[in-house]
Each structure stands twice: as structure tokens, then as C-alpha cells.
Structure 1
Amino acid sequence: MASPRRRPTQVDIARRLGISQATVSLVVSGGPASFQVAEHTRRAVLEAAAELGYTVNAAARSLKGGRNRLLGLYTFEPVFPVDRRDFYFPFLLGVEEATAACGYDLLLFSSATARGDRSIYASGANRLKVADGCVLLGRDIDRAELAELVREDFPFVFIGRREVPGHELSYVAPDNVAATRNAVLHLAGFGHRSMAYLKMADDQEPTRDRAEGFRQGIADVGIGADQVLVHATDEPVTGALLREWLTDGITALLVEPSEDDAAIASVERAAAEAGILIPEDCSVVLLGDPPPSESTRDWTRYRPPREQMAREAVRLLLELLDDEDGRPRHLLLGCRPIPGESVAEPTVSRPS
């Protein structure tokens, strides 16, 4: 007796066309996000899906586990990170690879409102429920919606540490505390004792973690609070301000990068404006690894393992689906230091 024919998947479509599963998911999921894909590619995906007999049937549960074999990916960012230069692209790649390896299809959710922003409950109900569970990412989150997901007992894992008062969330995150502490120790090893910490002003969890690592680092090397300066990156760094810091004895900057390169570009412009050389006159360490930009400088920095975080998020999500107690999972992953070329020993004299 012949074995039953295997149901075609998004992976089959992707292999036939030589494109990513994420692109296939954008098209077959429909909605505004599908129009991020070039029209000729969109047509090719739909034609291949028809030829292979692929359908998304949210009501057809598999007999084992009562699941759709669909995992969701939801981003609070304005668009899906389909550009390789996007900060979030490695997360998308890791989720896609892990989902396919586990035999699941990936469903990308746009859930845009009439105002153009994103909402899980844009239609008045949790649209993520079409999937068995969901990986979430993004910086500008809606904590009320996360709390509602917890109350609904909907399985999800956030990429990045997130807190919601009164609720515990599952997450995979880089260990920004340890990485920032190590960055301070690295500067101190070169002889820097007076530093400026440029932090983002929104005080999200990654920023708070870096601030804690900075406090631990200066305490470990015996640097007093009067030897450091904290500056919010929503206030522009100008050439005059940078020159003032160096005149006051600052020899190194620790910069929390934004998800674009705005904070780093601001420092570079200020240095050029003031005639200050990096690292000869001022050392700079980036507290993270921003996406590729126009800068050709090899920054001293640390690199969060983005693709690994995404793969681990899928693994934890599947654990949640298999574990009836629904206990939240927390996983911190170490970051890799990148030596770069933006740190040197402090100079005795300062630019006049």
C-alpha cells in the first residue's frame, strides 16, 4: 500500500524558487506586509504554491498534539526586517532556519492598524492564535498587549529581555550586563580612568542592563562616580561638547548604539568637527554591534549572538508548547568582544 503523500510546506516552495522561507511566508500570509516583496517574486510564490497544492488551513489541526505546525513571528517594528542591512535581519534568519529544521511553517504577522502602527489586537482579538505559538521582537513594545498575551496563556518567547509589571515573560537575551562590564574593564586595561557613558534615553531593559554593567565595571576597577559622565543620546553630541569633555579629563566614550547608526554617526561628526582623532585623542567602545553603515571605521565593540538568540527562542517556544506547566523560560547568551581599532592608551595632552 502506498504511503500517504506528504503535505507541501513553505520550505518546498522556497527550495523550488531558490528564495528564503521568510519571503514565502510574507506572500502566503497575505496582508499589507506581502507587498514588501517584489511583484514578480510574489506572483512566482503564489504560482508555485498552487502547483504544489500548498494551502494555509488554520482549522486543520494535526492529530498529534492538536497543533497547526505553524509558528508565528511578530515584530513591533514598522516593517519586517527583510533587508540584510537591517538590525533585526539576523533574528529573522535564525527564526526561519530553526522553524524549518523543526518541521514547522513560519507565519509572519503584520497586524497593522488604520493608524499605521502595529497591534496584536488590531482586529479586536489575538490574531497570533492562528499559530501554535509566536516569537516576538522589537524595541518599541506595547506592554499592555504582552500582559494580555500572558493572561490568555498564549505561548510566546521574546527576543530580548522584557519586563511587564505583575507578569513573567519568556525571553532569550544577550548578557548586556556582563558585556558592558567587560567593555569598562577593557578600557581600564588601557589606562583609562575617566569615561563618558552615552546611553539611550528611553530606559528600556537593554539600556538598564548596560547601565548596570557600567556601574559594576567602574566599581570593579575602583573608578569613582566623579570620574565618569552619563549623557543621554537624545541630546546631540557636538564638537564643542566633545572638546569640553576632553578638556575636563574624559579619555574614553562608551556608546550605546541605536538600531540605526544615529548615535555613532553623531560621535563621528562631533569628533570631525572638533578635530579630535579616534582613538589617538579619544577612545570609543560601542556597547553592541550596529548594522552596517556608511562608516568604514572598525569599532571596538561586542557582538550579541543574534542568530543564535533567534534559534534558541524557537527552541524555548517549542518547550513551552510541550510543557503543560507553562513555566516561563529565561536564557542569557554571552556576547563576543570585537577588538576593533577605536581604543588606544590615553594621551597626556588634549586637543586645544
Structure 2
Amino acid sequence: MSVTIKDVAKQANVAPSTVSRVISDSPRISMKTKRKVRKVMDEMGYHLNLNARVLVRQSTQTIGIVMKNSATHSFENPFFAEILKGISGSCHANEYSLNLTTGESEDAIFQDVVKMVQGKRVDGIIVLYSKEDDKVVPYLMECDFPFVVVGKPLYGANQFMYVDNDNVQASREAANYLIELGHKRLGFVGGDLQFEVTRDRLEGFQQALQEHNIEIPESYTRNIELDNSAKGKEVVSDLMNLSEPPTALVVTDDYNGLTVMSALQAQHINVPDDVSIIGFNNTMISKLANPPLTTVDTNPYQLGFQSSNGLIDTLQTPSMLKRGVIIPTSIIERESCKAI
């Protein structure tokens, strides 16, 4: 039989109304009483009736998460796992639950979002990407539904909150790192150009080359679409079979970085003796790679934590100004880069 508020009140020798006020963290109750009642709640195994709280507060205490692409691929990439850890940490501290999209296509993901909003399943939404021709963000704006984007807005920058890195500067620093090691033939392996993060990292890479008066052939810049390891092997084969192949690569995701390293090893090309590689995100993959991957730490945990904090702030104070939060980056040196 479940423990009720009346049971807790009797054990703590307080009125049931006092227990209710402790649950809602009322300022009318002293900290001494709150500690006593909460101790009794823990000892008796009392749990909130969330359905009742939804009716009383008109709140689900749940945040929706919109994945970048199919749930299957997102969970394969440890970058998103780190972001979710950050979101989860913030939600736990603020007593929120999570509801994730599970669709395997853009249309299915969008329908998940519609169900979240129209079904009032969540109080707000975190969108884990910024993408051209996206349907989700315009829909949320049209519905005037609270949301935060992880990524730089492509439009409506003053109308919603976002959390991001300075990806142009981060990529510029990554390219400069290789240039300072003496590399002049630099290649770039990015992701899907529909996503803002890929375009910004390409821009930063190009800025570094221009600053050092380095010109590279167009064939040195390639992209790997989402969830396409076969494309990664093709990209590596094309780059390494050039008459003058690049001596160093900026790969804009550790996940793709591992794909590139595996393809190089299959062609008996040594990292870093033959080709140096720098990745992005500093996930578990970068530490376990052989050799360990030099990478740009984008602090994915903080991207998630700050996006959740920002959304919860917005939910609690709807009139607050929408803000952009930039999370700093740094280069983590490991063994995949070598001076020329």
C-alpha cells in the first residue's frame, strides 16, 4: 500500500497541509521543519503523485528533447550522450523528467514534436541542432511554445534562447594548431552542410588558411553525411589518392574522426606519421582511438546543462529576456598529430 501525505504528517507530527507546503517548497515553512518532514518522507518511501501535481500546477515537469537525426544514430554518437548527461543533470536538480523523440526520419521526428506540443506532454523543448530547412523550430515559434536550441540560430536569433560554441573560432584554432606544426596541405572533413555547425567549422578552417596565405585545392574539402561510414571510406580513398594528398586533416566530429582513422589504417596509412588528424568534441571515442585523438573540447556536458537551465529559467520566468550562451572550447593534445 502506498504512503500518503496523511501518513507522513502523522509520523512527522505535523498537519497534512504542512507536508503539502514542504512538497511545494513554500517559504512559509521553516528550514528546520522542511528537513524533518523530508527525512520522514525518505524513511517512509513517500513519492509524489505526478499526475496529481500536473493537475494542480498545470505543469508536466517534463522537458522534451529533439534529436539531431534518427534516435539510432544519435545514440551511437557519444557527443549526444554527453549532451544528454548535461541535460539530465540539470533536470534532476530541478525535478524535471525527460521525453525524447524516437523517430527514425525527419518527418517522424517532427510528428513526435507535434505530439509533445499538442498533447501537452512536456512544458518546454530542447532542440539539439540548428539546421537549414528545419520544420521543428518554425513550428515551435508559431505555437509560441518554450524552447531552447543547441546551436547558433539561422533566423529569429532574438526570439528564442540558444546555447552554442563559437564554432568558427574553434575550427580556426584547430587549423592553426596543424599549421603551427608545419603542415601546409590541410584537408577538411565535415558533416552535413545543412547543419549550421558544419558550415561554421568550414568557415573557421578557411579563415585560418587565408591568414597564413595557404591555398588548397577544392578536392581537399569533403563531407560525410549522417550515418554513412561507407562515405567515410570513399572520402579517405579520394583524399589519399590525390597526386599530393593532405598531410593533416581537420575532422569536425570525433565520431567521423574515428571513421577516417579506421579507413586510413585499412589503407596502411599511419596516423600521425603519414597524416595528422584533429577532431572535435573530446568524447570517449577520442580517448579510446588508436592513437588517441587530438581534439577540440566543445564541453558537450555544459552545452546540455546550460540549455536545460536556460529552458527551466524561461519556464519559471516567461518574461525574461532571451539570451545566447557561448560555451568555451579548448584543444586537447593527444597522439594523432605530429610536426611535419
Normalised by the size of structure 1, how large is the TM-score? 0.70
Q: Structure 2: which 5+ runs fail to align?
A: 1-12, 26-41, 226-230
Find out whether 1:241 has 2:233 as its counterpart: no
Shift of 1:107: 3.4
Find out whether 1:250 has 2:262 as its counterpart: no
8 Å Cα contact 1:121-1:127 kept in structure 2: no
Alignment of 1:67-86 (within 5 A): 68=59, 70-76=61-67, 77-79=69-71, 86=78
Shift of 1:229: 1.9
Find out whether 1:319 has 2:333 as its counterpart: no
For residue 174 of structure 1, the aligned residue among 155, 165, 171 is: 165
**More deviation, 204-213/267-276:** 267-276
Identity of aligned residues (%): 20
Shift of 1:181: 0.5
Cα distance in 1 for residues equivalent to 2:274 and 2:47 = 64
Find out whether 1:264 has 2:257 as its counterpart: yes
Between Structure 1 and Structure 2, which shows a larger proportion of helix residues? Answer: 2
How many aligned positions are there? 298
Q: Deviations over 1:6-46 (max 9, x none)?
A: 4499xxxxxxxxxxxxxxxxxxxxxxxxxxxxxxxxxxxxx
Q: What's the secondary structure of 2:84's corresponding residue?
A: helix
Equivalence for 2:5: none
Over aligned residues, Cα RMSD in angstroms?
3.8
Alignment of 1:199-348 (within 5 A): 199-226=190-217, 229-234=220-225, 235-238=231-234, 240-245=237-242, 247-248=243-244, 250-257=246-253, 261=255, 263-292=256-285, 295-325=289-319, 327-346=321-340
Equivalence for 1:60: 55
Equivalence for 1:95: 87
Cα distance in 2 for residues equivalent to 1:166 and 1:68 = 27
For residue 125 of structure 2, the aligned residue among 115, 122, 134 is: 134
Shift of 1:315: 2.3
Normalised by the size of structure 2, how large is the TM-score? 0.72
8 Å Cα contact 2:258-2:285 kept in structure 1: no
Q: 1:128 to 1:190 in 2, by over 3 A?
A: farther
Shift of 1:108: 1.7
Cα distance in 2 for residues equivalent to 1:185 and 1:115 = 36
Larger radius of gyration: 2
Q: Deviations over 1:311-339 (max 9, x none)?
A: 21122223323544464321121112110
8 Å Cα contact 1:276-1:282 kept in structure 2: yes
Q: Structure 1: which 5+ runs fail to align?
A: 10-47, 347-352
Q: 1:165 to 1:7 in 2, by over 3 A?
A: closer
Cα distance in 1 for residues equivalent to 2:189 and 2:304 = 28
Equivalence for 2:144: 153
Cα distance in 2 for residues equivalent to 1:224 and 1:208 = 19
Q: Deviations over 1:260-308 (max 9, x none)?
A: x3x3344224322433211111111113335538733211111111111
Q: 1:120 to 1:161 in 2, by over 3 A?
A: farther
Cα distance in 2 for residues equivalent to 1:125 and 1:132 = 9
